[in-house]
Amino acid sequence: MRKIGFLLILLIMVSIGLMAAYPSFAASSQHFYREGNDVFDDWHVCRTRAYGADGFFQITGETAFRPIIALESLGQNVAQAYRLGEQFAEGYPDQHQRAEEIFYFVRDRVRYTPDVDQFEFEEFAQNADELATTVEQKGTAGGDCEDMAILLAVMYKGAGYRSAIVLPPGHAAALVYLPDYKKANLLKLRGESAWVWAEATGRNNPFGWIPERYSGERLAAYEIIEEDLSIEHPPTEPETEVAKTSGSLPIIASPFVIVICLMWIISMFRRRRS
């Protein structure tokens, strides 16, 4: 009986701890599903393809694109990444220093990792909150150029800046609007020569450094605005449910499910005793 009482007390303590510590994944997709060779999230955004109306960047031409995946972390979907930006705004009142610190945070905490090594897909985009959550929980995270660009763009918005995503051929980077910044060449977007390139893919890249092959080129860029993006439910019978294996896609076990499992284990233990 003492053992059963101890297990019940342990169950209550674990349940309370899980309920208190369980993170909010309001802006992280909880259900990935597959259609053919593509993987989609709760917003019905394709994570394995940048092209097309449902692609994560909605690329529809050589210069036409809209990084819709960033909207999964803005507006009504604000969560971890945006709040990280707000924390930098509180900690660094100087606008230039704050922009630098955000850049170096992402550069130093996100290790460049090809998608195929993490997710076993040639392409798989993470939204800003998924990446920010991993950094907060583990200290570092893996991501490639578009993941870093998305995280930077959202964090800059949270920190009070205008931000954009730029798409050179086969690449992605972030831009931040920073008038009067003297430590880097300012770029022009829509007639405004006040944008700083944020290239976080290199471990030693300074803020404002631009790869030489892109310097002076006309590149496609899109300024991020805080639009609302509603979650779209997946098909009633998706072709294939996608769950996490090793480093694959996010899977979330709720505290309720964990508690139910613990209660089942205790009931089995009591039956054996009787």
Ordered DSSP codes for 161-204: --EEEEE-TT--EEEEE-TT--SSPPEEETTEEEEEEE--SSTT
pLDDT along the chain (274 residues), means of 10: 46 40 48 94 96 96 92 94 98 98 98 96 97 97 98 98 96 97 94 95 96 89 86 44 36 37 48 50
Question: What's the rounded Cα separation, in Å, for the pair 194 and 187?
Answer: 6
Q: Could you tell me if residue 17 is inside a domain?
A: no
Q: What is the pLDDT of residue 229?
A: 81
Q: Could you tell me if residue 202 is inside a domain?
A: yes
Q: Could you tell me if residue 183 is inside a domain?
A: yes
pTM of the model: 0.76
User: Which CATH number belongs to the domain containing residue 117 in this structure?
Assistant: 3.10.620
Q: Could you tell me if residue 70 is inside a domain?
A: yes
Count of the separate structural domains present in the chain: 1
Q: Could you tell me if residue 22 is inside a domain?
A: no
Q: What is the pLDDT of residue 231?
A: 61
Domain that holds residue 141: 31-242
Q: Could you tell me if residue 18 is inside a domain?
A: no
Question: What's the rounded Cα separation, in Å, for the pair 188 and 65?
Answer: 18
Angle subtended at Cα 167 by Cα 234 and Cα 198, rounded to the nearest 5 degrees: 105
Q: Could you tell me if residue 252 is inside a domain?
A: no
Q: Could you tell me if residue 150 is inside a domain?
A: yes
Q: What is the pLDDT of residue 28?
A: 67
Q: Are 178 and 194 in contact (CB under 8 A)?
A: yes
Q: What is the pLDDT of residue 257?
A: 35
